[in-house]
Structure 1
Amino acid sequence: MKHYLGKSEYHLRQKQQDYPVNYEPDKLINAHLLVCGMSGTGKSFQSSRLLGSAAQAGIEVDVFDVHDELEYIPGATACRYSQATGYGYNPLELDTDPHTGGVNRQTEYLVGLLREASPQLGVRQEMVLRNLLLDTYALAGIYHDNPNTWQRDSITEAQRRQLTDARNWQALKQYYPTLDDLKSYGRRKLTALSIGGDNPCISALEQLTRQYKRLNTLQGKYAKASSDDEPDKLGKQVNTSKEHCTSGYAEFIAAMQTGRELEDMLKYDSADTLASVLQRLELLNSAGIFRANPPPFGNAPARVHQIKSLTTEQQVLFVKLRLRAIFERHKQAGATRSGTELRHVIFLDEAHKFFSKDDDDIINVIAREARKFGIGLWCASQSPTDFPDSFLTNVGATLILGLHGSHWQRATSKLRISVETLKHIRPKQVVAVQLRKDGMADPPFGNVVVG
């Protein structure tokens, strides 16, 4: 790939020479790219030009567009994700590599993503979600400790509906479970845990728990009794409470039906906790992005994912799940021969909102490791100051289209760009460009005439 950025302003003004400046990722330390500029500086225009060059060079492209401004890339197919369209991907599909994938890995990844996107998700909710995922996989015959069970086929919503309507449960086990399966299993567990429901064993266990708590309280008071008549009075209450616990335990044992009631109580904490987890899943999937209904991209090499209609939480979850799928696919394909070949561009619009301080976050992993697998992470944002240093110091090319003056001081510190270079930027006419080539420790920014 060779993309023309413009002419060197230094050569044009000082030497009256037309010296072209090109973005050639195979000549840089990596194919990662950062495009920064405040509103009105031509960020969408320059991004579209870059993406068009990548598509024309035969490079696979995935664009995550939060403003619906990048759909007109030559050769690209766009898809809008919303409640109305219902397109989405199944988050329960597995990486079947026994070393890097499997049930536990996907479960922890999904729990971690929900924790990041939903800070209100507490420790108990995380535990319940984790157990819910493990049990849903197990119900489909996919076990965390048996890699031979991890391989399944992908299923569409229509296929799942057809098999469930026909009650063909055996055929369903040929496919990965879906979020609908997860929610359906969760609702069944919620019914079993609900007090006053049709499970007398759970009701008896709840009653036994309350009686045991009362017994503990009375025993504590008995140990601290001081007056002469208080020990006798409390002793009678303790004995009565013990009798209630004994009868309550007998009722619990008599009401047992499956033998798993106690295990379910421990795994799913309470009906309230399980209900809150199911509500969270419903809210996050209200736009349908986790439905097994892949978008109609076909074999299009350039795909624009229009995610403007999604909430910020949904955008973060969707983007990171897709990035992980892309990264795992290229890892399985192996490293490129040269180690510098660019074969897939991931473009993040308003990219700063997707970054995390967690070193194991998929975006940070791609920034560190994806070069050898041919992946270029291209990020667009209004200011470079919103990105972690670990990314800024590991990006092959940086384009500054124009920053607000309030960002200059931090930009000079984080990017080592001079104030003089920033002053010479003229939106849509002159930009600042840094190209990190092999053998150059800290190349300076140069002004490039683009208009």
Structure 2
Amino acid sequence: MDHFVDIHIGVDAKTGEPKIWSYPSVTNFNIIFLGGSGAGKTHTIHHMAANVYVRGTTLHVIDIKGDFAHSNFEATGLGHMLHPEDFNEIKFNYYQDGCSLNPLQVPRTEEGGGVVRTIEYVKELVKVFNPQSGPKQLNYLIEILKTVYTKSGIDHDDPETWARQSPTLIDVLGEIDLIFNALTGGMDTTTVADIFKAYGQAKNQAEKDIRKMKIDEEPNSAIEERVQEIRATLEDTLKGHAAKLINFDALTNRNGARSDWEHWSKETLYSLKAIIQGMVDSRLFTGNPSKPKQGKINRYDLTALSPAHQQVIMRIIASQVFAMGVMETKRNNAFNPKYPAHILIADEGKHIKEISVSPISPFNRIGTEGRGYGVGVWCGVQQPDQVTKDLLKNFATFFLLKTPDASYQEITKLFGVRPTLLKSLLPRENLLFGTGGPYSLVNHFR
């Protein structure tokens, strides 16, 4: 079974002829499923997803309501096509057993925009996570992100470094603490880091030696003597820093430019820390890394998250799916394939519109650029105004199901379908199927 084997959509309600479809026969990999509540939209997506998956495409399903587990496909009558082992469950929640996505992960291809685009993307993500984030906080964040990438050895102008392990929001928190303490103490961040490192190493060494010496049943006097030795070493290190910082030359001759952060507001920095701390505490960005698998139905279970956090995670998923397609296409030198390697499915398309204001948002990029990289997006929406204009212009396949009469005028305007055809639609019985030409009334997947 491959993509050159047609998928049987259903039977033309007027002629009785079978309606077939395949990816090689359409201009791009994007599909829209439009239908009101109870019209059979999810049922239709189930059938299309199962048929496309068994032909060799990796699926990435964003599941907001819990409609795309194996049991749901089985209930639709697709148990003979899909099995539990076909699914890779990626569950997000606010607990330790949940999965996470790292928004600081730098895409390893130039199309991802490198460090510069990733920093801009993280800034937008923080704004979505906390709408109260102000311009000053976000400007501080940009400078901090530049620093953590530099410390991780990742250089925007050297794409070979993009493959190195990316920093995380925990690294951002650490840098904020360094700057805050440097501002408070009037020191440079390197010195602050060295002081904290020296203290941490001394404390860890003392605790380790105490445990070992107690196990060996050494007397308390010997243990106390060992702790004093470690403390003396720490004191010598701190004295060295004091001598470097507090002397005539250091206090009177400040050669070189001051760091930008030396003029920062501690209050603004502290409020930024609270925002990033909230993101870390959610465990959505620093927990168990999600691991999508090739050749599987990767189900991103977002049912336990708030709507705002669902949208944040959706943005990251879309960005990473697009990056996967670009990387595989370049690695295999397989540009403009006849069928997709990856399909991103979002049944609740209204969320896509909320997070796709920019033409270069991840979902819009898949819709407009994905064809060349073997990536497509499927959107399920209840109303035509729940999808962005950029995506509307780039759907090659249309499944239009029953919608409320009040939406007919807008559907006619956007999709070019006659109102008389819309009136022929019955919930869960038929749909209007099109691939750029005239629509056919089809009794589908029955």
TM norm structure 2: 0.74
Counterpart Cα distance in 2 of 1:34 and 1:179: 35
Tell me whether 1:270 sits opposite 2:265 in the alignment. yes
Q: 1:255 to 1:417 in 2, by over 3 A?
A: farther
Select which of 433, 441, 445 maps to 2:439.
Answer: 445
Select which of 319, 322, 342 maps to 1:327.
Answer: 322
Q: 1:401 to 1:99 in 2, by over 3 A?
A: closer
Counterpart Cα distance in 2 of 1:295 and 1:147: 24
Tell me whether 1:180 sits opposite 2:191 in the alignment. no
Counterpart amino acid of residue 190 in structure 1: F
Does the CA contact (< 8 Å) of 2:322 and 2:370 recur in 1? yes
Select which of 87, 92, 115 maps to 1:76.
Answer: 87
Q: 1:6 to 1:286 in 2, by over 3 A?
A: farther
Tell me whether 1:34 sits opposite 2:32 in the alignment. yes
Counterpart amino acid of residue 185 in structure 1: E
SS at match of 1:398: strand
SS at match of 1:70: coil
Counterpart of 1:126 in structure 2 is 138
Structure 2 matches for 1:290-329, cutoff 5 A? 290-291=285-286, 293-295=288-290, 301-329=296-324
Tell me whether 1:135 sits opposite 2:147 in the alignment. yes
Counterpart Cα distance in 1 of 2:151 and 2:335: 42
Give the CA deviation at 1:301: 1.8
SS at match of 2:366: helix
Does the CA contact (< 8 Å) of 1:65 and 1:349 recur in 2? yes
Q: How many residues align?
A: 364
Counterpart Cα distance in 1 of 2:296 and 2:378: 17
Give the CA deviation at 1:254: 3.4
Q: 1:255 to 1:127 in 2, by over 3 A?
A: farther
Counterpart of 2:44 in structure 1 is 46
Q: 1:286 to 1:445 in 2, by over 3 A?
A: farther
Counterpart Cα distance in 2 of 1:310 and 1:256: 54
Select which of 265, 276, 284 maps to 1:281.
Answer: 276
SS at match of 1:10: coil
Counterpart Cα distance in 1 of 2:13 and 2:338: 28
- Alignment identity in percent? 22
Counterpart Cα distance in 2 of 1:257 and 1:288: 42
Does the CA contact (< 8 Å) of 1:63 and 1:305 recur in 2? yes
Q: 1:120 to 1:255 in 2, by over 3 A?
A: farther
Does the CA contact (< 8 Å) of 2:335 and 2:373 recur in 1? no
Does the CA contact (< 8 Å) of 1:287 and 1:310 recur in 2? no
Give the CA deviation at 1:19: 1.0
Q: 1:98 to 1:62 in 2, by over 3 A?
A: closer
Give the CA deviation at 1:340: 2.7
Counterpart Cα distance in 1 of 2:413 and 2:139: 42
Give the CA deviation at 1:4: 2.3
* Cα deviation 1:376-425 (Å, max 9, x = unaligned): 21111111222233322320111122112222221111111111111100
TM norm structure 1: 0.73
Counterpart of 1:247 in structure 2 is none
Does the CA contact (< 8 Å) of 1:96 and 1:102 recur in 2? yes
- List alignment gaps of at least 5 residues for structure 2: 74-81, 189-247
Does the CA contact (< 8 Å) of 2:35 and 2:381 recur in 1? yes
Does the CA contact (< 8 Å) of 1:343 and 1:375 recur in 2? yes
SS at match of 1:304: strand
Does the CA contact (< 8 Å) of 2:34 and 2:384 recur in 1? yes
Counterpart of 1:5 in structure 2 is 9
SS at match of 1:38: coil
Counterpart amino acid of residue 62 in structure 2: F
SS at match of 1:272: helix
Give the CA deviation at 1:293: 2.1
Q: 1:447 to 1:287 in 2, by over 3 A?
A: farther
Give the CA deviation at 1:291: 1.7
Counterpart Cα distance in 2 of 1:57 and 1:277: 48
Counterpart of 1:155 in structure 2 is none
Does the CA contact (< 8 Å) of 2:11 and 2:19 recur in 1? yes
Q: 1:303 to 1:420 in 2, by over 3 A?
A: same
SS at match of 1:21: strand
SS at match of 1:402: coil
Q: 1:260 to 1:4 in 2, by over 3 A?
A: farther
Counterpart Cα distance in 1 of 2:336 and 2:139: 44
What is the root-mean-square deviation in Å for CA atoms of aligned residues? Answer: 2.9
Q: 1:189 to 1:259 in 2, by over 3 A?
A: farther
Does the CA contact (< 8 Å) of 1:349 and 1:380 recur in 2? yes
Q: 1:116 to 1:340 in 2, by over 3 A?
A: farther
Counterpart of 2:251 in structure 1 is 254
Structure 2 matches for 1:81-160, cutoff 5 A? 81-84=92-95, 85-97=97-109, 101-116=113-128, 118-152=130-164
